[in-house]
Structures are given as structure tokens and as C-alpha cells.
Structure 1
Amino acid sequence: MTQTLSPLEAPAKPGLLRETLQFSRSRPLMVFVVIGLATGVTLWATGQQTALAITAFLVVGVVIVTTAIGMVRDLMSGHWGLDVLAVVAMVATLAVQEYVAGLIIALMLTGGEALEAVAARRASRELDMLLNHAPAFAQRVDPVTGDVQRIPVDEVAVGDELLVRSSEVLPVDGTLLSEHASIDESSVTGEPLPVSYQAGDSLLSGTVNGTESLTMRAEKVASESNYAGIVKLVEAAVDSRAPMVRLADRYAVPFTILALLIAGVAWYVSGDPVRFAEVLVVATPCPLLIATPVAFMGGMSSAAKLNVIIKDGGALEVLARVRSAAFDKTGTLTQGKADVVNIVPAARSARETLQLAAAAEQFSVHVFAEPIIAAARVQKRELPQVAHADEVATNGVHAVFSDGTQVRVGKPAFIEEVTGHITRPALAAGETAVYVAVGNELAGVIVLSDPLRPQAADTVARLRAAGVEEIAMVTGDVAPTAESIAHEAGITTVHAETTPQTKVELVQAMRPRPVLMVGDGINDAPVLAAANVGIAMAGRGATVASESASAVITADDISRVADVMYVSRRTVTIALQSIWLGIIISVGLMLVAAFGYLPAVVGALLQEVVDLVAIVSALRALSIHRRVKRERGSGTPLGAEAFAQPTRQ
């Protein structure tokens, strides 16, 4: 359980200045440069040139050596970075005795990391909120005395009875013991309104109890509960460094050559070496280094506010360029909440067919297992005892009962392995069939209805408007059911009765690339990992699919697929705009300096302003989610113009 803090007890949110000071304590080199700059300015103002020179050579020299070491390591690994230009600029200022300018550049280089960290922390605040929301304690009810004991959430065991008070966070996944409860699931599933539950219903950790206390029985330990899975995904997202940071390095060589060319020409034409230093002072590359990671953290934060956890910046960049998409059917395009609507008997009665199937399906994690078991419970069928069972991914379950009876439950091809050819019943739109065999006979067919998600067709349409040229369904379900659902969703390419291996082969063969795969189940894990970028639907708890996906939708809403693609494209666009803004301003300042109108000290100060402009521009990515929510509220979907491709580089 997590106790709610009052405003007086809650920790204060650190402001920008406080965050900067906290960061500076962990950056002794930056503090050293700040002190050096303050000393240098004082010496310059009092006319103590010799002391100023000594101070500048000492402070700037340390920064040059420190930066050069990292630069050499990068060059040895074949990576040309923008630090080369900063080192040349600092050496040039010392050579022409522009000591204060050299100190300012040193501060800009070391302090730029602090600015980036503060901005990134601001951008990742939504991810941090998810981490901080994780339950830390639980209230366990003693089964003998009824006393309530506060324990760390890691000590909760399966079967423990837990008390959850009003407005407290549910510590683990469990089953409701109270007669009823009202739960706020907005932080986990994105559902804006409280959800009502009755005794026996499953509850998710990380959700918030309503106004009345409830009791629940723990069904999972904390480390295996729903919210723990989300927290792991968030931690991976926070810890990752966006490969998109390399985008700035794409400009490293041309930008360095251009800066050195302008500086060299200015020196040659004027005959004044100071002009060389003045140009390079405003050519320092901090805006290029800062803008991209800040924009990407902002984009990941916007996605998190839309209940999508993007694991790393590389996935965000690929999402922005997706040209083909593949969807699983059950639980992805459909609601995954099927109901048994008919049982077609064959060698066994409808009653026995349901009993046998429910007994075997107890050992399956497929979304159709639970409705079959639930149907048997509603009819109060006593399930035969199973001695051994194996689930064959995407095919079904093979169970051996205590009396030696062998039962298969699953796809028709799985059943035909032991029965030979079977007649398949006609199915209506949205219906699917689960086949049951006893020994080498078809016992019967269970028909379930799993309707299309309400947002599925609109999501497919939005992806097409975004420029996704090829959209396909890849599913293990039978062709008639798959084609019916695909038609409703607006998908024309259907690959039915696939295995995990054929799913991988189909997605790898899709063109044009990059390819997006969206799925939800264990059988989707291989294809999610094989696609250029995979999105897992995990609105009712993390699965193996979540572990192999590049992004996870924690809300039970497939339209988030189109939302996160829009967020990704806008983020990349903002990053590119911020980079180009820094380049254009820097080149403009270089040209002014080349004509002798920008002293080195003034240029160094102006470059700090360019840094701030780049950061402010990149932080626009924090507000991307607001437009998505605004459009959702108005009922007007984001059009093709909103999905405009980011500038290709």
C-alpha cells in the first residue's frame, strides 16, 4: 500500500534553479569552470592580464584535455563528434589571448550538459511520475486475529488477504473479496471514469481504490504484478539514450568544415588571427548536442501521457518513418473479450464438449481460454481432472486426463492432425471457432464471438492517411473469421492460420520498410521482436509480448497506435527544426564575426542564448499529447496534414 501524503507531507517539486544546483553538485568540472570564469572576469575588470592568462590557461586547459580525451576515444571508435570544433575554438581563444571568451566557451561546454540534464528531467517528468506511483507498502490482514499489519509490498505472498483503504494504490494483482468496489484505472489503462467491480473480479496493481475500503486476495507477488511490469518498461525508457542523438553528429563533419572555412577565410582576408577565434567562438556546437535528446525525452513523455511507453529513442525514430504495418487479430484488432455463443456437437454432446475444453483450457493463456472456462462455470459444470497438459503456441492445448483420455483444443489444423479432415461450421462476422477432439474423434466445436474494437477501423484509416502504404493482418485464426474482421477494419491483405515462424517470415518480407507490428499475446513475441518496431497491447497487464516490443500501450485502446505514430513524427520534426535553428543562427553569427562586428566575448555570450533557444524549441515536444487529446475531445481525428513526414536527412 502507498499512503497518500498531505500537501505538507508531500515532497516539494524542485524548480529549475534547484534542479540545476543539485546537478551541479555532481559536476565538479562545471563548478571548477564557473569559479574560474568568475575569477577571470574579476581579473579582466581590474586589468590583471598576467593573472588572467594563468587562470584561463589552467581552467580552459583542463577542459580541453578532458574533452580531448573523450574526443580521441570517439575518433578511435570511428565516431566523429562535434567536440572537435569546441576544442579548436578554445585553443584559438588562448592563442589570440581572448581569455574571457575561452572561459565562456569552457563554461558553455560543461554547463551545456547541466542544461540538457535539467531540460531532460523536465521532459521525463511524466515517466518519473509513473515510477513514483509504484506501490511500496501493503496492509495485510492476519487470517487468525484479523489484525492489519503494514508490510513492504515485496513481502506480499500469493493468497494473502489485503486491506486497501480509500484513495490507496492497489499493491499487487488480486481478486476482490468485498462485495463491490469502484477503482480508478486511469494511471494504468487510460480509462477516465472509475470502473465498478464485484466480488470475484480481478484487480490490477497500480490502480487506485475509490472512496470505500476494500479487501482483496493477492494472486501475484509484487514483482510479477501488472504495475511492476509497467515500471520495468518505464525504467528502461528512462535509462535509454536515444540513438537519434547521432542525428546531430550527421552534421558534425560538414558543420566543422564550414566553420573552419569561414574562420580561415576571415583570417586570410583580414590578416588578423583574432578574427579566426571570433568566428569559432560562435560556431561551438552545443545547440546541436542539446536539442535532440531534449526533444526525444519530451516526445517519450508525451507518449507516456497517452498511455504508451516507448522503451527507447531509437523506437521513436523508427515509428516516425513506418511505411508498412501488420496487426494480429485476437485481442489486438478485436476486443479479446470473447463470449461462447454456440456449441456444435459432434462425437460428444455440447455439455461434454464444453467440460472437456474448459478442463484443458485451464492450462492455456490464450484469450479464448477464459471465456470457455467461464461458460463452464456459469453452467456449473464439474471439470474432469487433468494429469498433464502442454500448450502448443498458436495451435492449442494437448491435455491428458487422469483416466488417460487425450484431448486437443484449438485450431482446426491442430485437430486434423489426429482426426483427419473435419467439417467446419459456417461463422457469422466476428465469430471464431475452437475445435475439440477426444482421441482421434472430433468431439465438437465451440463458437465464440469476439467483435472488432470500436476504434480499429478508424485507426487503420489514420495510418493510411499518415502514409502507411501496406497494412496487413497476420493471425493464427481461420481464414473466414480473419477475412471478416479484416473487412470490417478496412484491411485488404490477410494472412490466416499462421504460426509464429510464418508470422516472422511474412513481416520480414513486407515492403516498403520500416515495418510496424502490433500484437498482444505470447505467440506475438517473436514477430514483435522481428519487426523494425513492435507495439504490444497490454491494457490488462504486461505479457511476454510486452518484453519483446519496442513500445507498450498500457490502455485498452488500439487508437493509441496512430496516436504514438503522430507523436513520434512530430518529435522528430521538432528535433530537426531545433537542430536547423541552431545551425542557421550559428552560421549567421559566424558571418557577422567574419566581418569583424562580433567581439569574441560578445559572441561567446550570444552562443549561450542560442543554447537556450535550442532547448526551448526542443521542449515543444512536451506538448504534443495536448493536440491529440484536444482532437479526441472534439471528435475530429488528426488528418493527413498532422502526420506530415519529418524532413528526411
Structure 2
Amino acid sequence: MTRLFALVRRFPLVAVTVAIGLVAGVLVASGLEPAARWLISLYALAIAGVEAVRMIRGLLSKQFGLDILAVTAIVSTIVVGEYWASLVIVLMLTGGEALEVAAAGRAQRELRALLDRVPQLAHRIEADGSIVDVAADQVRTGDRLLVRPAEIVPVDAELASPLGGFDESSLTGESLPVDKTAGDAVMSGSVNGPVAVEVVATALAADSQYQRIVELVRDAASSKAPLVRLADRYALPFTAVSLGIAGVAWALSGDPVRFAEVLVVATPCPLLIAAPVAFMGGMSSAAKRGIVMKNAGSLEKLARARTVAFDKTGTLTLGRPVVVGAHAEPGFEHDELVQLVASAERYSSHVLADSLQQAAVDRELALLDSTDAREVPAHGVIAMIGGREVVVGKPAFVGDHAPDVVRRTGESGEAVIYAAIDGRFAGVVVLRDAVRDDAAATLDALRTLGVTRTLMVTGDIAATAEPIAAGLGISEVHAECLPDDKVRIIREAQPRPVVMVGDGVNDAPVLAVSDVGIAMGARGSTAASESADVVILLDDISRVARAVAIGQRTVRIALQSIWLGIAISIGLMLVAAVGLLPAIAGAALQEVVDLVAILGALRAVRAGAAPVPGLDVMPSRRGVPVLPSGQ
């Protein structure tokens, strides 16, 4: 009973329509058929009036919708005395919202699952060893927490126990448990295995990975896709065809009832419901596979993508380069060069900064503090260390401070970092970053999916970028690009839509201006994730091709559902035109058409399950084969 009252409060017009029908039925049974006819007619006309106002507002804003068919059908059935048919039409219109909500609820199941799993509680271990339960948002960085078996990790943390196993499927779509050792990062939202572990919080709840994902999902769930009103593209021709069939049926038969009977089965609910249900299903399917669509319109653009541009470091490559050599100029020592470069990079946000610092740590060289340091984005960093000016970065930038710079060409896949000390060229540090194992297959899959142009747009020098691009079959390389250069290149790129894939801070502007910006969010920056339209939670470049495939399948299913509704409606109109389909029967059949269209659209919840050519079986980040769906 409580559930029934909740439904009545949520869909009052449906309840009123059903109540009107029950009262009218009692009146007819009591011999008061005229009263029942007036009750239903007045109510139906009131609903038609509301729809007419909505239709006029749409026309004034130059939006031609399908409301005119519903209004005409209601009025015509009342005029010819088919008032029960008019009530069924009203029930269909008011019940359409309820059907859409129910279908969308099924389609959004995976999105809701993420929202329902937001960690609420943490078990904090106090200094005396006691355990105190606190709200997750009260956890502070450095707090030691106990995570019991099968519990959700409340905040981003570092594993303090020797070993641990975590289920990250709700975050990444990867169903295999992830084994971790002491010191490994543990994402909030992951589920602990069968053994209790201790972790040390490394971020507040609001700044943790899971909370970021939740915000992305909330944005996605509240967004509207351009194709949600896809049916409006067919509004004018469908309306013209419907009125034409109805008019011809009336003219040939001489019976105005035929006009009403045709329009009863021309009502547009299946066309209006199919697209939004399909898009919610596609977004849910993508989320299950670690791909969060922040805006439902991204699915439609991905389906039509013809150009895809990639950043290099951390996108096509693993983004974890290691120092393979240091070449000091005369007057400087190799260890001195590595130590000063690593110390300066402590003040840089560049993706290579951690690798350069790690090289000094591996050589047991102390990282020195700077009295004055500043980073010049996309160029390099300048730091005063021990009274010496250290300039680290690209050759042109270092050359502005040391005219004696000598350019060096690294081998394929290598990055060369230049350094100047006190105005003199001090040497270079060479790093190598491996290309992702699945990068080549991803590019092949994109071409199979209809992408005709691929680009590499990177801040790295051409000598480093071009060999990698050539090995992946990317013929167009734009190297040594500043953020402004990347924005200009993507804005001018043809054919469109253009997809940009990146993960760094300097990718944020170009992700924002591309038709679809995709951020590799597993280790990517917050700025990149916030600027992007799509965030890939798993550190897996093949998800880019999978996102395009999901977009194509979702749009295809939406269009199929719409065309199915149109075909069935036209078929029923032709049957009604020859007098074989009474108005009340036609109105009932239209409800069946609604259900068929919805069931067809719900196929989009499996949009990510079908294999993508070239990505049937891909290696996971632990070298274990996983299914292409991420399951």
C-alpha cells in the first residue's frame, strides 16, 4: 500500500486518469452513459489543452515536435464519439512518463550502483591502538584506518599491511581481484578481500578517487543528449504522413471516424521514449566497463567520430619512463647533473618529474631544496639550488639561458631533458618510455570503426615522438606543441567530430575544446578529468576504441527503436485506414507499440558487451587476459 501511494504521488496524472476511467465505468454500469461521456471528454480536452500550450511554445521557439498528433487524436476521437479511445490516448500520454522512468531505471542500474556505494564510515586506529568509528568525511590525511573483510575502502590510501587483495570492478570494470603489497595505493570505493587490512589515508574523502567518480556520474546522469529528442527530426515528416493517411481514409470512406481511428495509432510516445532510454542504457554499459560519460551527448559524437588525436606521454605510452642515461658536459659530473636536475624537478608538474627524482633516489643522491623556483608550463623549470641557477626543460627553453646548448637526438622512444647550470649547458638526461602493449591494436580498431584520421599532438620533440607514431601507424605528428598550439590544431582538424585523448595538466585546454575530450583518468590529473567529456577509469588505452564502439551501438539501437516505432505505427495506420481497427483497439495496441520500442531501446544496456574487432582479448595491466567487456 505504501508503494502504491508513492507511485500515486510520483505520477498523479496517471492516477487521475485511471480514477476517471473507473468512475466513468461505474456511471456506464449505472445507466448514466451520457455523464460518463462528458466526464471523459472534458478531462481529455483539458489534457489536450495542456499539450496544445506546450506545442505552441515549441513552435514559437522554432521547435516542431510530435505534440500536434496527440492533440489532434484526442480532439478527433471526442468529436466522433469515441471517448473511451480518447481516455486511452490520455493514459498513454500520462503513462509514457512512468514507462520512461521505469525503463531509465533499468538502463541506469550501473550508474546508480556507483552512487549507492559511496563510503560512509571509517574505522580509525587511534594512537593507543583503540578503534573509533568516524564518518568518512572526517578522515584526515595520515590517519591509520582498519578495513574489515568485504568492506569498502573509505578514502584513497596506502596499504600498511604486508599484503592485501581488493575488488576494483566498480571503479575500473576489471573483475579480477587486484593483489597489493605494503606501500601500494588503494583507491577509495574498492572492496577489501577476505582478510582485514590496515591502510594510511592519503587524501580526504572529498578529494578521493571514488568521490571524483561519483561527481562524474552525477553529472552524467543529469545530462541530456542531443539525440534524446532525436524523434523531433522525424516529427514533421511523420506528422505529415499520419495526417495524410488519416485525411485520405476520411475522404475515400466519407466517414470522419476513420480519421480519428488512424490518428489514434499515430500517437508518438514510442518515438519520444526510445532515444533517452537507449542513451541511458549506453551510458550505464560504458560505466560498467570503466568509461564514465560525463555528458550523454558524447555518445552521439563518439558514434560519428572521424578524427582522433592522442597525446603521447601517459596516453600512447605507459607514462612511467625511467632514466637510461646522463651525459654531462665537460666541467660537470654525471651525479652532479642528475642530482641538480632531480632537485629542480621537485618544483615541476611535468609527467617526467617523478622519474627524474626517482633516478636520484636510486643513485642515493640527496634531493636539494630551492630558495627560489618557478615552473614555466610546457617549457621547463628554473630553480636556485645551493646558490646556483639550474634550468631544466626543452632545448629551446634551456637555450634561452645557455647559448652553448647542443641538441642531442635520442633513440626511438627516448626523451631527452636538457639542463643548464649558471648559464652554461650542463648536459642531458635521457629517459625511455615504453609504448602501451594495446596502443597499436587500439588504433587498428579505431580505423575499423570508421576513424579516418589519427594524429599525435605532443609537447615532446619530434625526434622522440615521430618513431613512436611511425610504429603505431600514425602518419601525422605535431611535436613540441604548447597548450595553445594543441588547441589550434584540434580546432582546425578535419573531418569532424574530433576526439582528443590525453591525461596531463597541459591537456586540459585541448580536451575542453575538442568535440569529445577523453581523459585517461586512472592516473591522469584532476584538471584533465574535469575538462574532459569522457573519463576512462582504467589505465587502458583500448577503452578509447571501446567508447567509440559503445557510442555507435547506442545510436544504432536508438535509431532502430525509433524506426521500429515508426514502421509499426504506419502499419497500424494503414490497417485503421481501411476500417479494420476500431479506435479503442488501436489505442490499446499503441500501448503495445510503446513497450516494443522500450524493450528495443533497452538493448543498449549491453552496448559494451559485444567484442570490438581487434580487441577480442586484451592483456590486463597485470598480464592476465580479460574479456573485451572488462568483465
Instruction: Find out whether 1:378 has 2:352 as its counterpart.
Output: no
> In the alignment, is the contact (CA less than 8 A) between 1:20 and 1:118 conserved in 2?
no
Cα drift, residue 504 of structure 1 = 0.9
Query: Counterpart of 2:48?
Result: 64
- Could you tell me which residue of structure 2 aligns to residue 430 of structure 1? 413
Structure 1 residues 458 and 379, CA gap change in structure 2 (3 angstroms): same
CA distances 1:529-578 after superposition (whole Å, capped 9, x unpaired): 11111111112365211111111111111011111111111111111111
- 1:377-396 equivalent positions in 2, closer than 5 A: 377-396=361-380
More displaced stretch, 268-277 vs 330-339: 268-277
- Residue from 142, 165, 170 that aligns with 2:126: 142
> Aligned-pair distance for 1:587?
0.9
Once residues 404 and 472 of structure 2 are traced to their aligned partners in structure 1, the CA distance between those partners, rounded to angstroms, is: 31
Q: Which amino acid aligns with 2:441?
A: D
In structure 2, the residue matched to 1:4 is none
Whichever residue aligns with residue 617 of structure 1, its letter is: G
1:218 to 201, 224, 237: 201
Shift of 1:94: 1.4
Maintained 8 Å contact 1:127/1:304: yes
Which amino acid in 1 is paired with 2:321?
A: A
Preserved contact between residue 380 and residue 394 of structure 2 (Cα < 8 Å): yes
Structure 2: tracts of 5 or more residues without a match: 620-631
Matches within 5 A, 1:80-95: 80-95=64-79
Structure 2 letter corresponding to 1:323:
R
Which residue in 2 is equivalent to 1:645? none
Change in 2 beyond 3 A, CA 1:504/1:268: same
Distance 1:112 1:98 in 2: 21
- Relative to the length of structure 2, the TM-score reads 0.93
Which of 457, 461, 470 is 1:474 aligned to?
A: 457
**Within 2, Cα distance between the matches of 1:249 and 1:515?**
25
Establish whether residue 408 from structure 1 lines up as the match of residue 365 from structure 2. no
Matches within 5 A, 1:20-99: 22-44=6-28, 47-99=31-83
Distance in 2 between residues matched to 1:244 and 1:108, nearest whole Å: 22
Residue equivalent to 1:367:
351
CA contact (8 A) 2:412 2:468 kept: yes
Report the Cα distance in structure 2 between the residues aligned to 1:500 and 1:592, rounded to whole angstroms: 62
Instruction: State the shift of 1:378 in Å.
Output: 2.5
Equivalent residue, structure 1, for 2:627 = none
* Residue in structure 1 matching 2:332, options 348, 357, 363: 348
8 Å CA contact retained: 1:24, 1:114: no
Task: Please state how far the C-alpha of 1:632 moved relative to its aligned partner.
Answer: 5.1
Q: Return the alpha-carbon distance in structure 2 between the equivalents of residues 466 and 372 of structure 1.
A: 39
Q: For 1:141 and 1:612, locate their aligned partners in 2 and report how far apart those are by CA, in whole Å.
A: 54
Give the direction of change, closer, same or farther, for the CA distance of 1:630–1:417 in structure 2 (3 Å limit). Answer: closer
CA distance in 2, matches of 1:19, 1:564: 38
Partner of 1:236: 219
98-107 or 444-453: bigger deviation: 444-453
Change beyond 3 A, Cα 1:334–1:304: same
Alignment map for 1:283-298 (pairs within 5 Å): 283-298=266-281
Q: Identity of paired residues, percent?
A: 51
Q: Number of residue pairs matched?
A: 618
Code of the aligned partner of 2:197: L
Alpha-carbon offset, residue 21 of structure 1: 7.8
Q: Distance in 1 between matches of 2:436 and 2:3?
A: 44
**Matched letter for residue 348 of structure 1:** F
Aligned match of 2:231: 248
Q: Distance in 1 between matches of 2:401 and 2:3?
A: 67
Q: Equivalent of 1:528, from 500, 511, 517? A: 511
C-alpha change, 1:585 and 1:231, in structure 2 (3 Å) is same
2:87 to 94, 98, 103: 103
Q: Distance in 2 between matches of 1:399 and 1:202?
A: 30
Gaps of 5+ in 1: 1-16, 637-649
Is residue 446 of structure 1 aligned with residue 429 of structure 2? yes
Identify if the C-alpha distance between structure 1 residues 361 and 214 changes in structure 2 by more than 3 Å, giving closer, same or farther: farther
| Aligned-pair CA distance for 1:366 | 2.5
Which of 319, 322, 329 lines up with 2:305 in the alignment?
A: 322
Q: How does 1:129-168 map to 2 (within 5 A)?
A: 129-143=113-127, 145-168=128-151
Deviation at 1:22, TM superposition (A): 4.9
Q: Which amino acid aligns with 1:306?
A: R
1:497 corresponds to which of 480, 489, 494: 480
What is the distance in 2 between the residues matched to 1:453 and 1:318? 26
Q: Measured at CA, do residues 556 and 24 of structure 1 come closer, stay the same or move farther in structure 2, by a change above 3 Å?
A: farther
* Mapped contact 1:180–1:199 kept (Cα < 8 A): yes
Question: Deviation at 1:521?
Answer: 0.8
Letter in 2 for 1:307: G
Residue 616 in structure 1 maps to residue 599 in structure 2: yes
Once the two structures are TM-superposed, the CA of residue 24 in structure 1 deviates from its matched residue by 4.5
Give the whole-Å Cα distance in 2 for the aligned partners of 1:20 and 1:552: 39
Q: Is the 8 Å Cα contact of residues 283 and 293 (structure 2) preserved in structure 1?
A: yes
Whole-Å separation in 2 of the counterparts to 1:421 and 1:584:
75
Name the CA distance, whole Å, in 1 between partners of 2:205 and 2:411: 42
> Which residue in 1 is equivalent to 2:590?
607
**Two-structure CA RMSD over aligned residues (Å):** 2.2
Report if the CA contact (8 A) 1:37-1:104 is conserved: no
Q: How far off its partner does 1:478 sit?
A: 0.9
Q: Residue 452 of structure 1 contacts residue 489 of structure 1 at CA under 8 Å; is this kept in 2?
A: no
**Amino acid of the residue matched to residue 271 of structure 2?**
L
CA contact (8 A) 2:292 2:536 kept: yes
Instruction: Give the structure 1 partner of residue 570 of structure 2.
Output: 587
In the TM superposition, residue 269 of structure 1 has moved relative to its aligned partner by 2.1
Q: 498-507 or 372-381: which moved more? A: 372-381
CA deviation profile, 1:316-338 (whole Å, cap 9, x unmatched): 10100011111000000001111
- Which residue number in structure 2 is paired with residue 175 of structure 1? 158
CA apart distance, 1:290:
0.5
Deviation at 1:108, TM superposition (A): 0.3
Name the SS for the 2:169 alignment partner: coil
571 and 51 in structure 1: CA distance in 2 versus 1, 3 angstrom threshold: same
Is the Cα–Cα contact under 8 Å of residues 329 and 474 in structure 1 kept in the other structure? yes
The residue identity in structure 1 corresponding to 2:356 is: I
Given residue 226 of structure 1, which amino acid in structure 2 is its aligned partner? Q
Instruction: Tell me the distance in 2 between the aligned counterparts of 1:220 and 1:532.
Output: 32
Once the two structures are TM-superposed, the CA of residue 186 in structure 1 deviates from its matched residue by: 2.8
